[in-house]
Amino acid sequence: MILKDKVVLVTGSGAGIGEAIAIAMAEAGAQVVSADIDGAAAQKTADAAAAFQAKTLALEIDVGNVAEIDAMVGRTVDELGRLDIIVNNAGVTRRAYIMDLTEEDWDRIHRVNAKGVFFCLQRAARTMIEQGEGRIINIASIAGRGYAGTSNAAYAASKGAVIALTKTASQQLGPHNINVNAICPGVTRTPLSDRNLAVRAEEQDVSLEEALKNHLKPIPIGRANQAEDIAAMAVFLASPGARNITGQAYNVDGGLVLS
């Protein structure tokens, strides 16, 4: 129970990595706010977290809308008393070649992955500054490190922005006792990644199984992440053991990218 009574807000927690993080935080003793653009999915995750005797709150939220971010943070503090940890996980992408990306793709991806992360971070930090402490965990990607197998260039750019934001925010928020770190997942089996895998299979004119095998081949450890692998790192970065870690971006990728 290393996070006993801490209040954790996880965006994009309706499925995949965000869902796993929310449940792992509850298992570690935290009170959990599950926020997702799909309100029913957010509630489903909150109900799963509540099985660990955690206080929970489910919110329907579009992180591309700053007014909704303000309302999300406000309700968290009003109903649970404080905000100790935020995990900025909400993200979108699609599989596309660089020359096929549109202005609509760019705006949609950056609205959520870059703008959303920044304003969630900023609004959470306002509360954490008043409290005198806090933890901010941004979910980036090895795409932001230059991983050649990224879903698309706009997505890679948005995740590079998250890594850069993490470093700058850690410097400026450190004096307020706020730690800011990022996690860079590699190949991870989620509903979103499975949709992208289906596109890869079509591009390669192979079965889903063969496309997955090709996708995993470059990974030294030989397997994809499960969402729980990312959740374990998030719990560590939220824990007392990580109190002196800030400004870092950790790859969780089986050795796929070594930078």
Cβ atoms of residues 10 and 33 within 8 Å: yes
pLDDT band for position 215 (cuts 50, 70, 90): confident
The predicted pLDDT at position 195 comes to 80
Closest CA to 238 of 145, 133, 127: 133
- Residue 241's CB is within 10 A of a number of other CB atoms, namely 11
pLDDT in tens, 129-158: 999 999 999 999 999 999 999 999 999 999
Domain ranges of the chain: 7-187+226-248, 189-224
The predicted pLDDT at position 34 comes to 98
The predicted pLDDT at position 141 comes to 98
- The residue that leads in pLDDT, 201 or 185, is 185
> Who's near 99: CB < 8 A, 6+ residues apart?
none
Using alpha carbons, list the distances in angstroms from residue 168 to 40, 114, 138, 182, 190. Answer: 35, 14, 13, 12, 29
Q: What are the start-end ranges of the H helices in 92-207?
A: 103-110, 117-131, 153-173, 191-204
What whole-number distance in Å separates Cα of residue 242 and Cα of residue 232?
13
pLDDT band for position 208 (cuts 50, 70, 90): confident
DSSP line for 4-45: TT-EEEEETTTSHHHHHHHHHHHHTT-EEEEEESSHHHHHHH
Per CATH, the number for 7-187+226-248 is: 3.40.50.720
The predicted pLDDT at position 55 comes to 97
pLDDT in tens, 88-126: 999 999 999 999 999 999 999 999 999 999 999 999 999
**Residue 196 confidence (pLDDT) above 80:** no
Tell me whether residue 250 is one of the annotated catalytic residues: no
pLDDT in tens, 18-67: 999 999 999 999 999 999 999 999 999 999 999 999 999 999 999 999 99
pLDDT band for position 211 (cuts 50, 70, 90): confident
